[in-house]
A and B are shown apart, each in its own frame.
Chain A
Amino acid sequence: MQVYLPIAELSLNAFLLLGIGAAVGFLSGMFGVGGGFLLTPILIFIGVPPAVAVATQANQVVGSSVSGVLAHWSKDNVDFKMGFVLLAGGFIGSTVGVVVFGVLRRIGQIDLVINLAYVILLTAVGALMLFESLRAIFRLRRRGAKPHKLHQHTWVHGLPLKMRFRRSRLYISALLPLGLGFIIGVLAAIMGVGGAFLLVPAMIYLLGMPTRIVVGTSLFQTIFVTANVTFLQAVQNQTVDVILAFVLLIGGVVGAQIGGRVGARLPAEQLRVLMAVLVLGLGIRLSYELVATPPELYSVVLRNGGE
């Protein structure tokens, strides 16, 4: 069954799209990330224009994050105060990101920047995660459960504007979550991702938040940042395809629920190794595409006014 996507202006198989949504949803439910970083490259691969893929993806993440946050909220695992501070940074960041996106699109370098951003982030985050999780498994095997340290004191604790986050049991500078939110916001706009794969490790290792609170809080801020990206992309670039977003969302929420249940039964450390391998593999695959000689050197686009 073909479905015509009015903004992407092409027909794709509805079951293929549902399947992609479900597969990515399954992984995201299992690993507790939005899955945008997986979905965007897949959409581009099956022929959706990168600009449409990124903007539509943001809209889809709004929906999947809502269902995720509600589940975490019912378990009281969301730090709303932290969420709002992250959000303030995220709003500024995503607004800046959408403007940058528009400029890059006009000068014809948007595809390159999207690709580069993916390569650098996926490879770096994947490698870090793999290293961290392997080391954790190693330690567990060697000494059994390691004694838990509340958090380490580093230079970040010397920053001004200190704020108390009760739910996370933290007393840190508001500049930290604000800056983190800003960076995630820029990436959300340019890459169409919720940014959880970056935000979650940053909240654990950089801010020192309890892991239990992290996923729910990151999803909470993701809703607003991706909603902001959706709105700005719709207004500035008209690249949000609601039909595509809706079909992906149906597959995605079903997949995420199943993935979440499967994930709950797997040991957390092994799960993180799997996730790291997946992220790293995708990063390596994309970097190969960047350096390999492309089959077609030329590309054609409609010339829009003002150029």
Chain B
Amino acid sequence: MTKAGRSCGLVVAWLVLAMVLLGGAAAAQEPLIADASNSPNYRVEITTGFVGTDVVYFGAKEGPGDVIVVIRGPILDYSVRRKQRVAGIWINTDKVSFGDVPSFYAVASSRPLDELLPRSLRVQQGIGLDALDLPTVKSEREGDIDSFRSALLRLKEQSGQFAREVGKVKILGDRLFSTTVHFPANVPTGSYFVTVMLVRDKDIVSAQQVHLEVGKIGADAGIYEYAHIQSALYGLTAIAGALLAGWAAHLVFRMI
């Protein structure tokens, strides 16, 4: 999304928020209300030209406190392999598998996480990359697990699927807040868990979930599903397409 597009999205977000706030006194009783700029369908859609997108999370809080937003992709298991030199060439030798790994992870906060919450609570709630548990599923190698775990974190950061920096939650007039989360081109698909938390006196006093679904749409979604569900037909179609294209090329070039 361009800068102009982002600020435009933000303006829309604030307008929506203003309407929510004007909507009723009932809302004022809630300690925390949050919404996303991609409402009402809460989808990030991957099309043929998809190069990544930004989603603005915003809302209002009642009283003092800080705001933390955590975005988790679908939980999956990952295997980390390590190469070693065997007889002069580099070969994958060791493997450690980790479970309960969010396929995407980003966190945004109005102040540094250490200042807001004790580490034990951050670990318990999985707030911050350094507080993710990442338990091993099955290991072919005891000890030295930590170097595999840090490799997993490092490689997920490099791929852009783990946000390296803690994002900034802006607070306006001690009441309204907003943050922009970037989803890269290689964002994993599936149902996401977005949690907006109000933090006061080193504790989470209120939390709200915002729905998020990342999916392929249009021709790409069709191709992906076709390839996985109707594998045999997909293979035959791919062959038929290639045969036709080759034949067409022959006809075209014979004329030239």
Contacts and interface: CB of A to CB of B under 8 A. Distances in A.
Interface of A: 1-4, 6-7, 9-11, 59-60, 62-68, 70-71, 108-109, 111-112, 116, 223, 227, 230-236, 238, 240, 242-243, 245-246, 249-250, 253-254, 257, 290-291, 293-294, 296-303, 307
B14 interface: no
17 contacts: A4-B48, A59-B239, A64-B246, A70-B250, A109-B92, A227-B242, A231-B232, A245-B238, A246-B245, A249-B245, A253-B249, A291-B89, A293-B90, A296-B155, A297-B84, A298-B151, A307-B97
Contact of B247 (A66, A246, A297, A300): A66
Contacts, number: 181
Contacts of B256: 257
B175 interface: no
B174 interface: no
A238 B81 contact: no
B42 interface: no
Contacts of B221: 6
Contacts of A65: 246
Interface in B134-178: 137-138, 148, 151-152, 154-156
A235 B242 contact: no
Contacts of A243: 220, 223
Interface stretch (B23-31, B72-80, B198-206): B72-80
A300 B155 contact: yes
Interface string B236-256: 111101110111011001001
A6 B78 contact: no
Given A231-B235, A234-B235, A112 B246 contact: no
A243 B238 CA distance: 10
B238 A234 contact: yes
Contacts of A63: 241-243, 245-246, 249
Contacts of A71: 250
Nearest to B91: A112
B150 to A, nearest CB: 9
Contacts of B154: 298
Contacts of A70: 246-247, 250
B83 A297 contact: yes
Q: Closest 5 CB pairs between A and B?
A: A66-B246, A234-B235, A298-B151, A63-B242, A253-B249
B236 A231 contact: yes
Contacts of A7: 223-224, 227
A240 B227 contact: yes
Interface of B: 46-51, 76-85, 88-92, 95, 97, 137-138, 148, 151-152, 154-156, 185-186, 216, 219-221, 223-224, 227-228, 231-232, 234-239, 241-243, 245-247, 249-250, 253, 256
Contacts of B249: 63, 67, 253-254, 257
A97 to B, nearest CB: 15
A291 B88 contact: yes
Main secondary structure of the interface of A (DSSP, over half): helix
Given A231-B236, A242-B241, A298-B148, A11 B185 contact: yes
Contacts of A297: 82-84, 90, 151
A12 to B, nearest CB: 10
A139 to B, nearest CB: 36
B235 A230 contact: yes
Contacts of A250: 245
A32 to B, nearest CB: 16
Contact of A240 (B48, B155, B185, B234): B234
Contact of A227 (B77, B78, B216, B239): B239
Given A11-B49, A234-B231, A234-B232, 12 more contacts: A63-B246, A70-B250, A230-B242, A231-B232, A249-B242, A254-B249, A293-B90, A297-B82, A298-B83, A298-B151, A298-B154, A299-B92
Contacts of A223: 243
A11 B47 CA distance: 10
A127 B84 CA distance: 29
A59 B224 contact: no
Contacts of A242: 223, 234, 237-238, 241
B223 A299 contact: no
A10 B90 CA distance: 27
A57 B256 CA distance: 27
A234 B97 contact: no
A148 B47 CA distance: 60
Contacts of B152: 298, 300
